[in-house]
Every structure is written in structure tokens, then in C-alpha cells.
């Protein structure tokens, strides 16, 4: 008999494009449907239980479904096959060492963001000085500075700053809920978020990338003996 497994799903478990493209889907609504069908197979034939933090991750998934104009059956499948549970934030124990490491990690990220900000300021000043050397007045250069210098530097700054401060960071309540619920249930985490992955490893939690999750269930299903599938189907029909 297969050992029953528990999984806590992040929003990306249903929305990551590579996860649903592996199921042959061409858009996010088809993809969410296909992955939820895999979850249903896991629940019915393998005894797999899949959880989502409620209401945080549940609301994120609902928003994705609504913003992409998915059919109501998508949320119907979410309500049917995913167990909605709030993590016990008061009883789940997290080692104090994790907090020290997180603070140290955040400090390094903030310092990196500050360095990127300083680089952007120095670049803008340098380019403005270079532009002013032709003797043109500031008023006449205003449009050119805003268009060619400030605009391009801000775009580059945003990209670098976002990468520096969001890579490997827990930057939302739902991220923390996923980890706390997985810790509470001794479950594996399913996510494509690098911040969740990093801190799942720090907490000693099992982790699987979103794109590998439906593939895993498919492999489990392919490994089941045919007579076992027939017996499960017969039991379901009774």
C-alpha cells in the first residue's frame, strides 16, 4: 500500500505556465483545470491530500481565476479537491535561528538594493553633466533628460532593484502561510517561488517545484497495477 502523502500548494502550483504546459494546456484556465484533474486522480487513486492556506492562498487563486475569466468549474474543482485550512500561527514552532538568518539575509538584500540606487543616481548625474557640456541650457535639455536619461535609467533601476530585493524573499502573507501550514501538517511544499523554496529548505520541509507536481502524480498513476485501478473505480461506483 502506498504511503499517504500530504502537500501544501502555493498559488504557483496551479498558475505556473510550465506546470500546465506539460499537461498540454494552452492557457491558464485550461492549465488550472488540468492540474486540478491530476490532483483529483491523486486523491481518488493514491490517497494524496492537497491543502491550500485559507483564506490567503485561496483568495489569490480565486483572483487569478476571475482576472483570467476562467469558468466557474475551476473554483468548483478547487473547492472539491483542495483542502482549505488556516495555519495555526500560534502553535507552529519555528526555530529562532531561522529569524536570525532571515534578518541577516534581508540586511544583505537591502544593502544590495541601496548600492543599485546609488549606481542609478551616479549614472544619471554623469550623463546629465555629459549632456550639458555642449552649452545647452537646462530648460532646453529638460525634455531630452526626461526622455533619454531619466526614463531609461529608471527602467533599468526597477529591473535590478526588483531582482535584488525579491529573489529568495518571503514578501507576502500567503508565502508565510504556505510554510507554516506545511510545518504544521508535516507536508511537502509545492511552489515555483524561490523565496518559499529557500525557506522551506531552512525549515527542513520537503519541497517540489510546481512544474514537477503533475508529472509526479502521472508517474504514480502509471505505476499502479491495472487491477488496483479497476478495484478503485468499482468502489467509487458503489
User: What grid cell was written down for 126?
Assistant: 554623469
Q: Which of 196, 158, 150 is nearest to 8 (CA)?
A: 196
Place of cell 489569490: 60
Topology given in CATH for the domain delimited by 6-86+173-237: Rossmann fold (3.40.50)
pLDDT of residue 166: 64
For residue 227, pLDDT over 70 is answered with: no
Question: Which of the given ranges, 73-82, 102-111, 138-147, 216-225, has the highest pLDDT on average?
Answer: 73-82
Q: Give the residue-averaged pLDDT of 143-147.
A: 66
Q: Cα torsion at 142, 143, 149, 153 (round to 10°)?
A: 110
Task: Give the Cα separation of 53 and 66 in Å (integer).
Answer: 19
In angstroms, the CA 166 to CA 17 distance is: 20
Mean pLDDT over all residues of the chain?
85
Domain residue ranges of the chain, discontinuous segments joined by +: 6-86+173-237, 96-166
Q: Does the pLDDT value for residue 61 go beyond 70?
A: yes
Residue 100: per-residue pLDDT: 78
| Better pLDDT: 139 or 30 | 30
pLDDT of residue 53: 97
CA distances to 35, 62, 84, 186 from 67, rounded to whole Å, are: 19, 9, 21, 33
pLDDT at 167 over 70: no
Band of the pLDDT at 1, cuts 50, 70, 90? very low
Amino acid at each position: 500500500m502506498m504511503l499517504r502523502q500530504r502537500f501544501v500548494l502555493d498559488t504557483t502550483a496551479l498558475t505556473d505556465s510550465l506546470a500546465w504546459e506539460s499537461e498540454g494546456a494552452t492557457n491558464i484556465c485550461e492549465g488550472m483545470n488540468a492540474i486540478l484533474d491530476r490532483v483529483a486522480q491523486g486523491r481518488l487513486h493514491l490517497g494524496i491530500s492537497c491543502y491550500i492556506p485559507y483564506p490567503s492562498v485561496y483568495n489569490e487563486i480565486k483572483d487569478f481565476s476571475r482576472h483570467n475569466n476562467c469558468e466557474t468549474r475551476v473554483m468548483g474543482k478547487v473547492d472539491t479537491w483542495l483542502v482549505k485550512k488556516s495555519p495555526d500561527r500560534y502553535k507552529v514552532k519555528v526555530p529562532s535561528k531561522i529569524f536570525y538568518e532571515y534578518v541577516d539575509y534581508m540586511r544583505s538584500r537591502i544593502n544590495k538594493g541601496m548600492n543599485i540606487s546609488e549606481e542609478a543616481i551616479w549614472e544619471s548625474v554623469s550623463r546629465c553633466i555629459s549632456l550639458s557640456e555642449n552649452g545647452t541650457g537646462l530648460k532646453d535639455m529638460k525634455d531630452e533628460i526626461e526622455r533619454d536619461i531619466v526614463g531609461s535609467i529608471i527602467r533599468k533601476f526597477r529591473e535590478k532593484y526588483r531582482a535584488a530585493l525579491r529573489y529568495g524573499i518571503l514578501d507576502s502573507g500567503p508565502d508565510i502561510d504556505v510554510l507554516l501550514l506545511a510545518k504544521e501538517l508535516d507536508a511537502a511544499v509545492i511552489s515555483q517561488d524561490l523565496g518559499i523554496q529557500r525557506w522551506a529548505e531552512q525549515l527542513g520541509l520537503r519541497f517540489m517545484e510546481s512544474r514537477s507536481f503533475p508529472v509526479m502524480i502521472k508517474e504514480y498513476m502509471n505505476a499502479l497495477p491495472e487491477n488496483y485501478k479497476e478495484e478503485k473505480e468499482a468502489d467509487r461506483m458503489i
